[in-house]
């Protein structure tokens, strides 16, 4: 099956992992929920005093303790792996353990349970996963309200990742229109008048309380029926992905509020569960179990550099085609006017949903690849900043080599770090005037190259070293061992090697589709490699290091200045430079000198 999503539920005192998947069976996609009751939460405890620590730990309400060998900045270390009965025991007990006299430090105490599971089992969402067990009808499985078509496995063995093709997923886009004559829509007063649907399998539908000649309009009696019909379409289409534009904070929030007032159940999940909202800081993320809800606004904002991100602007940027638009504050008038105006409103509404489908087809492959590389759920990856992606990638890589993950900085540690910022890139003030014959020298891969060639890493940074065995950074003179390869440099090295391999394959690719797929994959790797520098420079990151960040930018400034000097000898006069590149004008007459 394709692994779409993961979470856990509590049965009695135990946490049960649920893997949500899909597979094609005779042309129709089936939803699967696989249960794993055999995984326990744990943290690492680095003792001061091994014996005393073991004695003290035994006093606590924990499941079991193991003494295991791990690595700390590449050096072997013996640590306790302390297992708990339930993930919710961890926050309570970890502080107690951290405060014990016999304990030096606790580690990996804040990794969400389902993420820990994916890493430890070597599973990658959006990849093919093999599970072992027999199918139980949803109705025979207590505690689950799933449809009969949903198959529930209780796993008997660990699941396995299979080498996989790019999964063909069913995607449903949606968009709502509201009747809001007074300013922005208020869910307590303004009804939903349309819900538009569009899928990558040919569905085009507007559900509304208004009549229409258009065959794509499905007219129902009440707003209540709009919502009920929406739910039944989702169940019938059974999409793997649901996408919207600003749907985390607008469409789904609004639908949820109206459905609550009208007592319409929003049981959209493949397990029969209702639409849920997760607080993510000050904003929401809308969650449908077993289907991945993606808010394209967040994805687009991350990958496209624009000054505004309205649906119209994004559509224009991606396709160069203007989209029909009715200003938000005029929609109620088009509705009231009826006739041709109402026709336009129907078209506009459907076009919005179809624009979401088009934007999704363009933007989601990259997110899909990042999901398969980073190995965290698509839902999370679609909402993660690139820095977070890099961190979760590194956490998985650290696990693979038994390296302990550094802790997140405390609030005070974070503010100390903020206080002393690493020096930035080199900036040359622009030469005033209108320039012609401009060339741009691209340095975007400079930082990853520096990290690799200078072996810039926490585990290679030393106070002193023998003559010739270290790289010495310009200005501050930080020392990095030339051998062995550091953790982050080797991770970046592997990413870039893999990227080169894919680019070679791309050149040999027989058909267009294959080449496009390889291109997205190598783009995802490039993105990851180029974001890697951030792990040293961003204060709230686990692998933060002022010395590493500082050394990288110092080498960067050194390189860019040297390159500019060299360019000048060839007749290129630099007119502006900032961090990762510089602009120059070509002056032919200067070449003779």
Partner DNA sequence: GTGAACCGGGG
Partner DNA sequence: GTGTACGGTTCAC
- Interacting residues with DNA (CB under 7 A): 8, 41-43, 87-88, 90-91, 94, 108-114, 116, 175-178, 180, 183-185, 245-246, 249-250, 278-283, 297, 308-312, 327-329, 331, 352, 385, 387-388, 538, 540
Q: Which is nearer to DNA, 61 or 475 (CB)?
A: 61
Our CB check for DNA shows the closer of 180 and 455 to be 180
Beta carbon of residue 515, minimum distance to DNA (angstroms, whole number)? 32
Question: Which CB atom, from 103 or from 151, has the smaller least distance to DNA?
Answer: 103
Q: Which is nearer to DNA, 344 or 485 (CB)?
A: 344
Distances (CA, A) of 389 to 32, 286, 370, 423: 27, 20, 8, 24
Three-state secondary-structure class, residue 188: coil
Specify whether the CB–CB gap between 492 and 448 falls below 8 A: yes
Q: State whether the Cα torsion 271-275-278-284 is positive or negative.
A: positive
Residue 345 CB, shortest distance to DNA, in Å, is 9
Interacting residues of 3 by C-beta distance below 8 A, sequence separation 6+ = 19, 20, 21, 123, 124, 125, 126, 127, 128, 129
Q: What angle do CA 318, 322, 324 make, to 5 degrees?
A: 125
Q: How far is the CB of 191 from DNA (least distance, A)?
A: 11
Does residue 150 contact residue 269 with C-beta atoms inside 8 Å? Answer: no
Give the nearer residue to DNA in terms of CB position, either 405 or 452: 405
Q: Do residues 87 and 8 touch, judged by C-beta distance below 8 A?
A: yes
> Nearer to DNA by C-beta: 43 or 155?
43
Query: Given the complex with DNA, which of 182 and 513 has the nearer CB atom?
Result: 182
Locate tokens 């510089």: which residue? Answer: 582
Q: Given the structure tokens 């060839």, which residue do they identify?
A: 570
Residue-level length of the chain: 593
Euclidean distance between CA atoms 116 and 319, whole angstroms: 40
- Contact, 444 vs 425, CB < 8 A? no
CB of 128 to DNA, least distance (A): 25
CB of 124 to DNA, least distance (A): 19
Q: Which is nearer to DNA, 177 or 580 (CB)?
A: 177
Q: Is the dihedral of CA 370, 376, 379, 385 positive or negative?
A: negative
Interstrand relation of 204-208 and 217-219 (parallel, antiparallel or unpaired) = parallel
Q: 320 or 327: whose CB is closer to DNA?
A: 327
What interhelical angle do 512-531 and 386-400 show, nearest 10?
A: 90
CA torsion through residues 71, 77, 83, 84, sign? negative
Tokens at 323, concatenated? 């989209």
Closest CA to 111 of 372, 387, 404, 385: 404
Q: Give the helix, strand, coil percentages of the chain, each rounded to 5.
A: 40, 25, 35
Cβ-based nearer residue to DNA, 54 or 310: 310
Find where tokens 């538009």 sit: 196
3-state secondary structure of 59: coil
Of 238 and 376, which CB lies nearer to DNA in the complex structure? 376
DSSP state letter for 211: -
Confirm if 174 and 247 have CB atoms less than 8 A apart.
yes
The least CB distance from residue 546 to DNA, in Å, is: 17
- HSE-up (13 A, CA, CB side) for residue 518: 18
CB nearer DNA, residue 315 or residue 478: 315
- Residue with the two structure tokens 């819900």: 195
Query: How far is it, in rounded angstroms, from Cα 333 to Cα 179?
Result: 9
Min dist. Cβ of residue 329 to DNA (A):
4
- For the bound state, the minimum distance from the C-beta of residue 221 to DNA, rounded and expressed in Å, comes to 20
Contact 570/591 with Cβ under 8 angstroms? yes
Task: Calculate the alpha carbon distances from 431 to 149, 584, 587 in Å.
Answer: 67, 10, 15
Closest to DNA by CB, 86 or 501? 86
Looking at the Cβ atoms of 108 and 267, the one nearer to DNA is 108
Which helix (DSSP H) or strand (DSSP E) does residue 461 occupy?
A: strand 461-462
| Shortest Cβ 544–DNA spacing (Å) | 13
Minimum distance, C-beta of residue 87 to DNA, in the bound complex (Å): 4
Least Å distance, CB 309 to DNA, is: 4
């Amino acid at each position: 099956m394709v692994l779409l999503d993961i979470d856990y539920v509590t049965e009695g005192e135990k946490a049960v992992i649920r893997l949500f998947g899909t597979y094609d069976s005779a042309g129709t996609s089936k939803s699967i929920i696989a249960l794993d009751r055999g995984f326990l939460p744990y943290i690492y405890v680095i003792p001061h005093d091994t014996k005393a620590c073991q004695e003290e730990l035994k006093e606590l309400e924990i499941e079991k303790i193991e003494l295991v060998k791990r690595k700390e900045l590449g050096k072997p270390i013996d640590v306790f792996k302390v297992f708990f009965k339930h993930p919710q025991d961890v926050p309570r007990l970890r502080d107690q353990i951290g405060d014990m006299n016999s304990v030096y430090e606790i580690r990996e105490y804040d990794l969400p349970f389902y993420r820990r599971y994916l890493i430890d089992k070597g599973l990658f969402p959006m990849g093919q996963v093999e599970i072992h067990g027999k199918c139980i009808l949803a109705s025979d499985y207590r505690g689950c309200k799933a449809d009969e078509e949903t198959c529930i496995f209780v796993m008997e063995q660990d699941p396995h990742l299979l080498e996989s093709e790019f999964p063909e997923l069913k995607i449903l886009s949606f968009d709502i229109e509201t009747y809001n004559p007074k300013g922005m829509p208020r869910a307590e007063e303004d009804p939903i008048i349309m819900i538009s649907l569009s899928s990558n399998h040919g569905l085009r539908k507007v559900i509304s309380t208004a009549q229409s000649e258009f065959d794509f309009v499905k007219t129902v009696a009440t707003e209540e029926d709009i919502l009920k019909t929406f739910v039944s379409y989702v169940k019938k289409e059974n999409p793997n992905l649901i996408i919207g534009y600003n749907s985390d904070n607008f469409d789904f929030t609004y639908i949820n509020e109206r459905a609550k007032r009208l007592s319409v159940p929003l049981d959209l999940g493949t397990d029969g569960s209702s639409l849920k909202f997760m607080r993510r800081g000050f904003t929401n993320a809308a969650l449908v179990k077993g289907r991945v809800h993606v808010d394209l606004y967040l994805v687009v904002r991350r990958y496209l550099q624009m000054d505004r991100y309205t649906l119209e602007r994004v559509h224009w940027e991606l396709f160069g085609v203007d989209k029909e638009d009715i200003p938000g504050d005029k929609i109620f008038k088009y509705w009231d006017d009826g006739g041709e105006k109402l026709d336009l409103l129907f078209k506009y509404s459907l076009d919005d949903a179809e624009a979401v489908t088009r934007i999704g087809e363009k933007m989601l492959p990259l997110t899909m690849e990042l999901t398969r590389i980073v190995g965290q759920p698509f839902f999370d990856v679609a909402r993660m900043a690139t820095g977070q992606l890099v961190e979760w990638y590194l956490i998985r890589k650290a696990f693979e080599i038994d390296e302990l993950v550094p802790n997140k900085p405390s609030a005070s540690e974070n503010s100390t770090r903020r206080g002393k910022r690493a020096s930035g890139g080199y900036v040359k003030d622009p030469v005033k005037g209108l320039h012609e014959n401009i060339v741009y020298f691209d340095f975007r891969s400079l930082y990853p190259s520096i990290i690799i060639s200078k072996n810039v890493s926490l585990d290679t940074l030393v106070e002193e070293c023998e003559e010739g065995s270290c790289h010495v950074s310009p200005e501050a003179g930080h020392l990095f061992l030339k051998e062995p390869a550091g953790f982050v440099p080797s991770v970046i090295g592997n990413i870039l090697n893999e990227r080169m391999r894919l680019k070679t394959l791309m050149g040999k690719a027989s058909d267009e589709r294959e080449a496009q797929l390889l291109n997205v994959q190598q783009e995802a790797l490039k993105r990851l490699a180029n974001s890697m520098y951030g792990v040293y420079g961003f204060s709230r990151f686990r692998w933060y290091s002022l010395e590493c960040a500082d050394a990288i930018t110092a080498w960067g400034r050194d390189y860019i200045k040297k390159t500019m000097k060299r360019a000048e000898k060839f007749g290129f006069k630099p007119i502006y430079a900032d961090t990762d590149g510089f602009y120059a004008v070509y002056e032919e007459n200067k070449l003779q000198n």
